[in-house]
Amino acid sequence: MGSKILSTMISVTLMLFVACSNQTLTKKSESYPFQEEILEYIFSDSLRSDGTFPYYWPRVSKDTLDTLHLGTTTNIDYLGTRISAVRENRGTHCVGVTWQVCMTTLQEWAGHQGQNAIYEMTVDDVRRFADKWFIKLEDANGLASLSTPEEMGAVHALTVYGLGRQVAFEEARPGDFVQFWRTDDSGHSCIFLNWVYDGAGEIVGFRYWGSQPQTNGIGTDTEYFVALLEAEPAQRLVNRKRFYVGRLAPERD
């Protein structure tokens, strides 16, 4: 992607952010531009959408060496401990890259505060935070029986650890984290960019950034809540009732 096109994408998305910024962040968060940092990061050369970081979903088992690979484009270390290691094929997946964006932004924020740790979180805390983000289950076949907190993924993780909060559907802004589920029960973790409207001004879909098979890894895509000109098979539409939005905004005292 050329630098001029990339610059335009960042500018347009930041303009959308400003246009949506009529909500006030908490006192603890308003001094640090979390969403602006997220948007700058996902459209930077570090997270190129040119196929450098292809989609790869590891089927981790006790017999593989993928246990440290969490789908990130770079090694993620916390307090001197490696939490995620890059795989040789530089493969990524949806929850991996969104968690990477969150962790990178939080660690930069902590450094800005003169701290090494994110609040008082230990290495084990960060691992548990990732487990909730990834909706990690003991039973891989348990997705159909997920409770509402569990299936919220990133949103659940942010709220449990006081690192953010859930926001209403209509209040989603560029840079928010989203966990959604389709009508066929497949799910996805991504970063919200903007709504898609029909001719009557109704929300019919949304554009997002993430890592997915249809973009061969990192890239932007659009999905819909309703079928438009049969462009989307009914079973692949997004279930609006299972569309969860979370905003990075640490709120602890």
When pLDDT is averaged across residues 10-15 and rounded to a whole number, the result is 49
On whether the CB atoms of residues 213 and 55 are closer than 8 A, the answer is: yes
For the entire predicted model, the pTM comes to: 0.84
Confidence category of residue 179, pLDDT binned at 50, 70, 90 = very high
Residue 17 pLDDT level (bands cut at 50, 70, 90) = very low
On the question of pLDDT at 229 being above 70, the answer is no
Helix (H) or strand (E) holding 220: strand 217-224
Question: Mind listing the pLDDT tens digit for each residue in 90-128?
Answer: 899 999 999 999 999 999 999 999 999 999 999 999 999
CB atoms within 10 A of CB 39: 24
Q: Between residues 231 and 56, which one has the greater pLDDT?
A: 56
Look over the chain and give the mean of its residue pLDDT values, rounded to a whole number: 85
Read off the pLDDT band of 27 (50, 70, 90): very low
Give the DSSP letter of residue 163: S
- Under 8 Å between Cβ of 191 and 101: yes
Q: Which residues pair with 77 in a beta bridge?
A: 82
Share of the chain above pLDDT 90, in %: 70
With helix as H, strand as E and coil as C, how does 56-80 read? CCCCCCCCCCCCCCCCCCCCEEECC
Query: What per-residue confidence (pLDDT) applies to 43?
Result: 97
228 pLDDT more than 60 = yes
pLDDT of residue 4 exceeding 60, the answer is no
Greater confidence, 99 or 26? Answer: 99
